[in-house]
Amino acid sequence: MKKAISTDKAPAAIGPYSQAIEVNGLVYTSGVIPVNPETGEIPEGVEAQATQVFVNLVNLLQASGTSMENVVKTTVFIKDMNDFAKINEVYAKYFTGVYPARSCVEVARLPKDVLLEVESIATK
């Protein structure tokens, strides 16, 4: 049985999908972008956008009943691979202990023309 997860502390879905889905003790998040859910604004610069993405992801995981400590896999989509090091610096601040498995790919374009998007899988 799958359960849709929704919170106003992360950007709302901008299409026909759920912010996250829980099934069999796992939480699968949709891609999280750097939109401030309170203002709808996107911060300037890759570090600020990365920070907003992870704040949104923390909030989404908390609404799902889990946390960043339980993330086992992430996929990071970035607009420019030259931003990889800057994104890694922010990424490392949000994970402790054993880092999750991760894929990182450069993409041509992301929703709202943001610089990165992150999806995750976490245990409950």
Catalytic residues: 104
Beta strands in 6-90 (DSSP E): 20-23, 26-29, 71-78
What does the chain come to in residues?
Answer: 124
**Do 21 and 3 meet the contact criterion of CB atoms below 8 Å apart?**
yes
Token couple for 61: 């995981």
- Alpha-carbon span 37 to 35, nearest angstrom: 6
DSSP conformation class of 74: E
